[in-house]
């Protein structure tokens, strides 16, 4: 005879209740996950994300990137870098170290260069962000700094290049590109493992006077 056959009806009911209860608790994370899956990208003027339930630990943030507004719901711990790459699909900004040491993730925020791996997306709500994709004013002409990097072969693998270019543009705007020594100093936060440094300096020296004219 099976052991279950010896159980009192009430005991058997309790076990069933216990199993049902346990199953309900186990499904809670799945239900929470389902709530997390609200579309992370709203329409560009979009208020749609705000009209949905925001899960605990998430925030609705408006990122104004390359003159387009995006309302997204993100985990409050999401870096600006991950928001750009994973939520907005702007993969031009690179992740190198994710610790503020390589400069690959450099973007402009309100006209200043910033390491996007060291800033949370929620800290940039409503601020003006420019990435490498939005640097040139038109789609058929490169920014003078981009063109200079091409002219001087200022890259090899190219992984560091978006960050280098964003820093180089800021370096010119800051007035730190007047000579090679200053350029090396103020570009020192951008590491190039391919060691294209001499060509990068030459590119910045070419672009600097052209940027003043534009
Ligand atoms: S990825 Fe941000 S500094 Fe390296
Ligand atoms: S071009 Fe390869 S890391 Fe700079």
pLDDT at 26: 37
Instruction: Give the chain's domain count.
Output: 2
pLDDT class for 21, splitting at 50, 70, 90?
Answer: very low
Regarding whether 100 and 176 lie in a shared domain, the answer is no
In a domain, 161, yes or no: yes
- 72: helix, strand or coil: strand
Q: What is the pLDDT of residue 39?
A: 45
Distance CA 88, CA 70 (A): 8
Instruction: Report the pLDDT averaged over residues 153-173.
Output: 98
Distance CA 100, CA 110 (A): 19
Tens of pLDDT along 74-112? 999 999 999 999 999 999 999 999 999 999 999 999 999
Task: Please tell me the pTM assigned to this model.
Answer: 0.78
Which of 134, 153, 179 represents a domain boundary (last residue)?
134
- Residue 200 belongs to domain with CATH number: 1.10.150.120
- Cβ of 160 closer than 6 Å to ligand 1, yes or no, is no
d(CA 148, CA 210): 10
CATH number of domain containing 80: 3.10.20.30
Same-domain pairing of 116 and 170: no
Q: Work out the widest C-alpha separation in the chain, in whole angstroms.
A: 95
Protein residue whose Cα sits closest to atom 3 of ligand 1: 100
Pick the last residue of a domain from 84, 99, 134: 134
Residue 114 has pLDDT above 70, yes or no: yes
Parent domain of 53: 49-134
Residue 206 lies in a domain: yes
Expressed in angstroms and rounded, the spacing between residue 99 Cα and the centre of ligand 2 is 18
Q: What are 40-71's pLDDT values in tens digits?
A: 444 444 444 555 688 999 999 999 999 999 99
Atom index in ligand 2 nearest the CA of residue 194 equals: 2
């Amino acid at each position: 005879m099976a052991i279950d056959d010896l159980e009192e009806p009430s005991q058997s009911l309790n076990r069933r209740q216990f199993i049902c209860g346990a199953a309900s608790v186990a499904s809670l994370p799945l239900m929470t996950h389902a709530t997390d899956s609200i579309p992370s990208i709203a329409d560009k003027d979009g208020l749609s994300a705000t009209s949905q339930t925001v899960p605990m630990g998430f925030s609705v943030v408006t990122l104004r990137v390359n003159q387009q507004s995006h309302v997204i719901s993100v985990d409050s711990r999401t870096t600006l870098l991950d928001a750009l790459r994973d939520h907005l699909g702007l993969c031009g900004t690179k992740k190198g170290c994710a610790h503020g040491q390589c400069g690959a993730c450099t973007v402009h925020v309100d006209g200043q260069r910033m390491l996007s791996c060291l800033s949370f997306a929620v800290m940039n709500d409503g601020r003006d962000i420019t990435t490498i994709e939005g640097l040139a004013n038109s789609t058929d002409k490169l920014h003078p700094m981009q063109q200079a990097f091409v002219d001087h072969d200022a890259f090899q693998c190219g992984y560091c290049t978006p960050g280098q270019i964003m820093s180089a543009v800021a370096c010119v705007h800051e007035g730190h590109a007047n000579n090679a020594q200053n350029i090396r100093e103020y570009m020192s936060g951008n590491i190039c493992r391919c060691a294209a440094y001499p060509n990068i300096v030459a590119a910045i020296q070419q672009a600097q006077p052209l940027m003043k004219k534009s």
